[in-house]
Protein backbone atom coordinates (compact mmCIF):
# COMPACT_ATOMS: atom_id res chain seq x y z
CA UNK A 1 0.00 0.00 0.00
CA UNK A 2 1.92 2.99 -1.29
CA UNK A 3 2.20 5.86 1.18
CA UNK A 4 0.07 4.02 3.72
CA UNK A 5 1.04 1.98 6.76
CA UNK A 6 -0.42 -1.53 6.72
CA UNK A 7 -3.01 -2.06 9.42
CA UNK A 8 -2.18 -4.48 12.21
CA UNK A 9 -3.84 -7.88 12.00
CA UNK A 10 -6.39 -8.55 14.73
CA UNK A 11 -7.98 -11.66 16.22
CA UNK A 12 -11.18 -11.32 18.23
CA UNK A 13 -12.21 -14.10 20.61
CA UNK A 14 -15.73 -14.05 22.08
CA UNK A 15 -18.64 -12.78 19.99
CA UNK A 16 -21.49 -12.30 22.42
CA UNK A 17 -23.69 -9.25 22.89
CA UNK A 18 -20.66 -6.93 23.13
CA UNK A 19 -17.99 -8.81 21.22
CA UNK A 20 -19.91 -9.10 17.96
CA UNK A 21 -20.52 -5.37 17.39
CA UNK A 22 -16.99 -4.52 18.53
CA UNK A 23 -15.49 -7.00 16.07
CA UNK A 24 -17.81 -5.71 13.33
CA UNK A 25 -16.52 -2.17 13.81
CA UNK A 26 -12.90 -3.35 13.54
CA UNK A 27 -13.69 -5.21 10.32
CA UNK A 28 -15.46 -2.19 8.84
CA UNK A 29 -12.47 -0.01 9.75
CA UNK A 30 -10.37 -2.15 7.43
CA UNK A 31 -8.36 -4.20 9.92
CA UNK A 32 -7.48 -7.72 8.78
CA UNK A 33 -9.68 -9.65 11.21
CA UNK A 34 -9.92 -13.27 12.26
CA UNK A 35 -12.67 -14.21 14.70
CA UNK A 36 -13.55 -17.16 16.88
CA UNK A 37 -16.46 -18.08 19.11
CA UNK A 38 -17.37 -21.36 20.81
CA UNK A 39 -20.67 -21.26 18.92
CA UNK A 40 -19.45 -20.78 15.35
CA UNK A 41 -22.89 -19.63 14.21
CA UNK A 42 -22.39 -16.38 16.13
CA UNK A 43 -19.22 -15.69 14.12
CA UNK A 44 -20.70 -16.36 10.68
CA UNK A 45 -22.32 -12.89 10.22
CA UNK A 46 -18.85 -11.35 10.27
CA UNK A 47 -17.84 -13.18 7.08
CA UNK A 48 -19.95 -10.66 5.18
CA UNK A 49 -17.76 -7.92 6.72
CA UNK A 50 -14.59 -9.55 5.40
CA UNK A 51 -13.58 -11.36 8.59
CA UNK A 52 -12.14 -14.87 8.55
CA UNK A 53 -13.93 -17.30 10.87
CA UNK A 54 -11.38 -19.60 12.50
CA UNK A 55 -12.22 -23.16 13.51
CA UNK A 56 -10.26 -22.83 16.77
CA UNK A 57 -9.07 -20.06 19.04
CA UNK A 58 -5.43 -21.07 18.49
CA UNK A 59 -5.84 -20.82 14.72
CA UNK A 60 -7.41 -17.39 15.12
CA UNK A 61 -4.49 -15.87 17.02
CA UNK A 62 -1.51 -17.50 15.34
CA UNK A 63 -0.59 -14.60 13.03
CA UNK A 64 -2.32 -11.76 14.89
CA UNK A 65 -0.52 -8.63 16.07
CA UNK A 66 -3.38 -7.88 18.46
CA UNK A 67 -5.77 -10.29 20.15
CA UNK A 68 -9.00 -9.06 21.76
CA UNK A 69 -10.88 -11.20 24.26
CA UNK A 70 -14.45 -10.50 25.38
CA UNK A 71 -15.63 -13.34 27.61
CA UNK A 72 -17.94 -14.05 30.51
CA UNK A 73 -15.51 -14.13 33.43
CA UNK A 74 -11.90 -14.59 34.47
CA UNK A 75 -12.13 -18.37 34.60
CA UNK A 76 -13.25 -18.53 30.98
CA UNK A 77 -10.54 -16.10 29.87
CA UNK A 78 -7.89 -18.11 31.71
CA UNK A 79 -9.18 -21.38 30.30
CA UNK A 80 -9.02 -20.11 26.72
CA UNK A 81 -5.65 -18.41 27.10
CA UNK A 82 -3.73 -21.03 29.04
CA UNK A 83 -5.62 -24.33 29.07
CA UNK A 84 -6.74 -23.87 25.47
CA UNK A 85 -3.28 -23.01 24.16
CA UNK A 86 -4.03 -19.50 22.89
CA UNK A 87 -1.15 -17.87 24.78
CA UNK A 88 1.29 -20.47 23.41
CA UNK A 89 0.00 -19.88 19.88
CA UNK A 90 0.44 -16.10 19.99
CA UNK A 91 3.58 -14.71 18.41
CA UNK A 92 6.25 -13.02 20.49
CA UNK A 93 5.55 -9.31 20.85
CA UNK A 94 1.83 -9.62 20.21
CA UNK A 95 -0.59 -7.70 22.42
CA UNK A 96 -3.52 -9.27 24.29
CA UNK A 97 -6.33 -6.79 25.03
CA UNK A 98 -8.80 -8.32 27.46
CA UNK A 99 -12.03 -6.33 27.35
CA UNK A 100 -13.85 -8.82 29.59
CA UNK A 101 -14.95 -7.76 33.06
CA UNK A 102 -12.94 -9.89 35.50
CA UNK A 103 -11.38 -9.59 38.95
CA UNK A 104 -8.34 -7.26 39.09
CA UNK A 105 -6.22 -9.97 40.72
CA UNK A 106 -6.93 -12.34 37.84
CA UNK A 107 -6.04 -9.63 35.30
CA UNK A 108 -2.70 -9.07 37.03
CA UNK A 109 -2.07 -12.82 37.13
CA UNK A 110 -2.78 -13.13 33.41
CA UNK A 111 -0.52 -10.17 32.67
CA UNK A 112 2.40 -11.73 34.55
CA UNK A 113 1.97 -15.13 32.87
CA UNK A 114 1.76 -13.58 29.42
CA UNK A 115 4.82 -11.40 30.03
CA UNK A 116 6.83 -14.55 30.74
CA UNK A 117 5.67 -15.84 27.34
CA UNK A 118 6.67 -12.68 25.45
CA UNK A 119 3.11 -11.36 25.08
CA UNK A 120 2.07 -7.90 26.25
CA UNK A 121 -1.23 -7.59 28.12
CA UNK A 122 -3.77 -4.83 28.71
CA UNK A 123 -6.88 -5.15 30.84
CA UNK A 124 -9.32 -2.87 29.04
CA UNK A 125 -12.92 -3.44 30.14
CA UNK A 126 -15.57 -1.27 28.54
CA UNK A 127 -18.74 0.58 29.46
CA UNK A 128 -21.54 1.73 27.21
CA UNK A 129 -23.45 -1.45 26.53
CA UNK A 130 -24.54 -2.80 23.17
CA UNK A 131 -25.59 0.69 22.06
CA UNK A 132 -22.06 1.99 22.66
CA UNK A 133 -20.48 -1.04 21.02
CA UNK A 134 -22.58 -0.54 17.90
CA UNK A 135 -21.88 3.19 17.74
CA UNK A 136 -18.18 3.05 18.63
CA UNK A 137 -18.71 5.22 21.71
CA UNK A 138 -17.55 2.84 24.44
CA UNK A 139 -15.69 4.13 27.48
CA UNK A 140 -12.55 1.98 27.60
CA UNK A 141 -10.65 1.79 30.91
CA UNK A 142 -7.17 0.48 30.17
CA UNK A 143 -4.71 -0.86 32.71
CA UNK A 144 -1.13 -1.68 31.78
CA UNK A 145 1.78 -0.03 29.98
CA UNK A 146 0.84 3.50 28.93
CA UNK A 147 3.14 3.41 25.90
CA UNK A 148 1.45 0.26 24.62
CA UNK A 149 -1.96 1.89 25.04
CA UNK A 150 -0.79 5.05 23.24
CA UNK A 151 0.54 2.95 20.38
CA UNK A 152 -2.91 1.44 19.87
CA UNK A 153 -4.76 4.77 19.76
CA UNK A 154 -6.06 4.21 16.22
CA UNK A 155 -7.42 0.77 17.09
CA UNK A 156 -9.12 1.94 20.28
CA UNK A 157 -10.60 4.96 18.46
CA UNK A 158 -12.68 2.59 16.32
CA UNK A 159 -14.35 1.28 19.48
CA UNK A 160 -14.66 4.41 21.61
CA UNK A 161 -12.66 6.59 23.99
CA UNK A 162 -9.74 4.98 25.80
CA UNK A 163 -8.27 6.25 29.08
CA UNK A 164 -5.10 4.87 30.66
CA UNK A 165 -6.19 4.49 34.29
CA UNK A 166 -3.10 2.91 35.83
CA UNK A 167 -0.99 -0.26 35.97
CA UNK A 168 -2.11 -3.80 35.29
CA UNK A 169 -5.46 -4.52 36.97
CA UNK A 170 -6.43 -0.85 37.25
CA UNK A 171 -8.76 -1.10 34.28
CA UNK A 172 -10.72 -3.81 36.06
CA UNK A 173 -10.88 -1.79 39.29
CA UNK A 174 -12.32 1.17 37.38
CA UNK A 175 -14.83 -1.06 35.58
CA UNK A 176 -16.00 -2.41 38.94
CA UNK A 177 -16.41 1.14 40.21
CA UNK A 178 -18.38 1.93 37.04
CA UNK A 179 -20.62 -1.07 37.72
CA UNK A 180 -21.20 0.13 41.27
CA UNK A 181 -22.50 3.43 39.94
CA UNK A 182 -24.62 1.75 37.27
CA UNK A 183 -26.22 -0.69 39.72
CA UNK A 184 -26.92 1.85 42.46
CA UNK A 185 -28.35 4.30 39.91
CA UNK A 186 -30.57 1.64 38.35
CA UNK A 187 -31.80 0.86 41.85
CA UNK A 188 -32.49 4.53 42.54
CA UNK A 189 -34.39 5.05 39.28
CA UNK A 190 -36.40 1.85 39.77
CA UNK A 191 -37.36 2.81 43.34
CA UNK A 192 -38.38 6.27 42.15
CA UNK A 193 -40.60 4.67 39.50
CA UNK A 194 -42.29 2.60 42.24
CA UNK A 195 -42.86 5.70 44.38
CA UNK A 196 -44.18 7.80 41.50
CA UNK A 197 -46.75 5.25 40.38
CA UNK A 198 -47.89 4.42 43.91
CA UNK A 199 -48.33 8.13 44.51
CA UNK A 200 -50.60 8.53 41.51
CA UNK A 201 -48.27 10.10 38.95
CA UNK A 202 -47.25 8.86 35.50
CA UNK A 203 -43.85 7.15 35.28
CA UNK A 204 -43.36 8.42 31.75
CA UNK A 205 -44.30 11.98 32.64
CA UNK A 206 -42.07 11.83 35.73
CA UNK A 207 -39.07 10.77 33.66
CA UNK A 208 -39.72 13.50 31.10
CA UNK A 209 -40.14 16.11 33.83
CA UNK A 210 -36.77 15.50 35.49
CA UNK A 211 -34.72 15.12 32.31
CA UNK A 212 -32.04 17.80 32.22
CA UNK A 213 -32.19 18.41 35.97
CA UNK A 214 -29.80 17.24 38.69
CA UNK A 215 -31.10 13.67 38.43
CA UNK A 216 -30.22 13.40 34.73
CA UNK A 217 -28.00 10.46 33.75
CA UNK A 218 -27.51 7.94 30.98
CA UNK A 219 -29.27 5.47 33.26
CA UNK A 220 -32.34 7.71 33.48
CA UNK A 221 -32.20 8.31 29.73
CA UNK A 222 -31.78 4.73 28.55
CA UNK A 223 -32.84 2.45 31.39
CA UNK A 224 -35.53 4.82 32.59
CA UNK A 225 -37.02 4.50 29.10
CA UNK A 226 -36.77 0.70 29.34
CA UNK A 227 -38.68 0.82 32.63
CA UNK A 228 -41.42 2.98 31.14
CA UNK A 229 -41.66 0.81 28.01
CA UNK A 230 -41.16 -2.42 30.00
CA UNK A 231 -38.52 -3.56 27.54
CA UNK A 232 -36.17 -5.85 29.44
CA UNK A 233 -34.49 -7.68 26.57
CA UNK A 234 -30.87 -7.74 27.72
CA UNK A 235 -28.36 -5.17 26.65
CA UNK A 236 -26.58 -5.98 29.90
CA UNK A 237 -27.97 -8.97 31.74
CA UNK A 238 -28.79 -9.03 35.44
CA UNK A 239 -26.63 -12.15 35.74
CA UNK A 240 -23.60 -10.16 34.59
CA UNK A 241 -24.52 -7.20 36.78
CA UNK A 242 -24.65 -9.50 39.82
CA UNK A 243 -21.36 -11.13 38.84
CA UNK A 244 -19.68 -7.71 38.79
CA UNK A 245 -21.29 -6.64 42.06
CA UNK A 246 -20.12 -9.82 43.78
CA UNK A 247 -16.61 -9.08 42.52
CA UNK A 248 -16.89 -5.53 43.89
CA UNK A 249 -17.88 -6.86 47.30
CA UNK A 250 -15.03 -9.39 47.29
CA UNK A 251 -12.56 -6.61 46.48
CA UNK A 252 -14.09 -4.38 49.17
CA UNK A 253 -13.56 -7.16 51.72
CA UNK A 254 -9.96 -7.59 50.57
CA UNK A 255 -9.41 -3.83 51.00
CA UNK A 256 -11.33 -3.66 54.33
CA UNK A 257 -13.92 -1.27 52.90
CA UNK A 258 -17.55 -0.74 53.92
CA UNK A 259 -19.75 -0.06 50.86
CA UNK A 260 -23.31 -0.03 52.24
CA UNK A 261 -25.13 1.17 49.10
CA UNK A 262 -23.35 -1.37 46.93
CA UNK A 263 -23.99 -4.11 49.47
CA UNK A 264 -27.70 -3.33 49.50
CA UNK A 265 -28.12 -3.26 45.72
CA UNK A 266 -26.09 -6.48 45.44
CA UNK A 267 -28.67 -8.14 47.69
CA UNK A 268 -31.52 -6.84 45.55
CA UNK A 269 -29.93 -8.08 42.32
CA UNK A 270 -29.23 -11.42 44.01
CA UNK A 271 -32.92 -11.73 44.89
CA UNK A 272 -33.96 -10.72 41.35
CA UNK A 273 -31.70 -13.34 39.78
CA UNK A 274 -32.98 -15.95 42.25
CA UNK A 275 -36.53 -15.07 41.18
CA UNK A 276 -35.61 -15.89 37.57
CA UNK A 277 -34.58 -12.47 36.29
CA UNK A 278 -30.98 -13.33 35.45
CA UNK A 279 -31.38 -13.19 31.67
CA UNK A 280 -33.38 -9.95 31.78
CA UNK A 281 -31.70 -6.57 31.33
CA UNK A 282 -30.38 -5.09 34.56
CA UNK A 283 -33.00 -2.36 34.31
CA UNK A 284 -35.42 -5.22 35.01
CA UNK A 285 -34.60 -4.75 38.69
CA UNK A 286 -37.81 -2.72 38.53
CA UNK A 287 -39.70 -6.03 38.30
CA UNK A 288 -38.19 -7.16 41.59
CA UNK A 289 -39.24 -3.93 43.29
CA UNK A 290 -42.74 -4.33 41.85
CA UNK A 291 -42.82 -7.88 43.22
CA UNK A 292 -42.02 -6.74 46.75
CA UNK A 293 -44.42 -3.78 46.44
CA UNK A 294 -47.49 -5.50 44.95
CA UNK A 295 -49.69 -2.40 45.30
CA UNK A 296 -47.33 -0.27 43.26
pLDDT at 3 > cutoff 70:
no
Pairing outcome for strands 120-123 and 126-127: unpaired
Predicted confidence (pLDDT) per residue in 122-141, tens digit: 999 999 888 899 999 999 99
Across 212-238, average pLDDT: 95
What's the DSSP call for residue 250? H
Mean of the per-residue pLDDT values for the chain?
95
Task: Could you list the beta-strand ranges (E) of 101-225.
Answer: 120-123, 126-127, 138-143, 160-166
- Residue-level length of the chain: 296
Known active-site residue 175: yes
10-166 and 174-292 have identical folds = no
Share of the chain above pLDDT 90, in %: 93
Across 188-203, average pLDDT: 97
Pairing outcome for strands 120-123 and 52-53: unpaired
d(CA 99, CA 128): 12
What's the DSSP call for residue 280? S
- Which are the contacts of 236, defined by CB distance < 8 A and separation ≥ 6? 17, 129, 130, 281, 282
The whole-number pLDDT of residue 4 equals 54
Is residue 2 very low, low, confident or very high in pLDDT (cuts 50, 70, 90)? very low
- Which are the contacts of 89, defined by CB distance < 8 A and separation ≥ 6? 58, 59, 61, 62
Neighbour count for residue 179 (Cβ, 10 Å): 23
pLDDT at 174 > cutoff 70:
yes
Neighbour count for residue 154 (Cβ, 10 Å): 12
Q: In this structure, what is the dihedral angle of CA atoms 149, 154, 159, 165, given to the nearest 10 degrees? A: 20
- β partners of residue 166: 143
- Please report, for the chain, the start and end positions of each structural domain, with discontinuous segments joined by +: 10-166, 174-292
Q: Which of 99, 127, 134 is nearest to 10 (CA)?
A: 99
CATH topology of domain 10-166: Rossmann fold (3.40.50)
3-state DSSP call for residue 180? helix
CATH topology of domain 174-292: 1.10.1040
pLDDT at 5 > cutoff 80:
no
pTM of the predicted model, to two decimals? 0.89
- The active-site residue, picked from 8, 44, 175, 243, is 175
Amino acid sequence: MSGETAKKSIAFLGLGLMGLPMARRLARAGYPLTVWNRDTAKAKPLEAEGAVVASSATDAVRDADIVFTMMTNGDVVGSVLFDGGVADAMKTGAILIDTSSIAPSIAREHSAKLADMGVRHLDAPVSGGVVGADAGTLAIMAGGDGDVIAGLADVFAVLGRVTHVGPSGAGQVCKLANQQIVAVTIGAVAEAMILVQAGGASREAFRNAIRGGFAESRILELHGARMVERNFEPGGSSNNQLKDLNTVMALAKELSLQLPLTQTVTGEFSDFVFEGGGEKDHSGLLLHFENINPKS
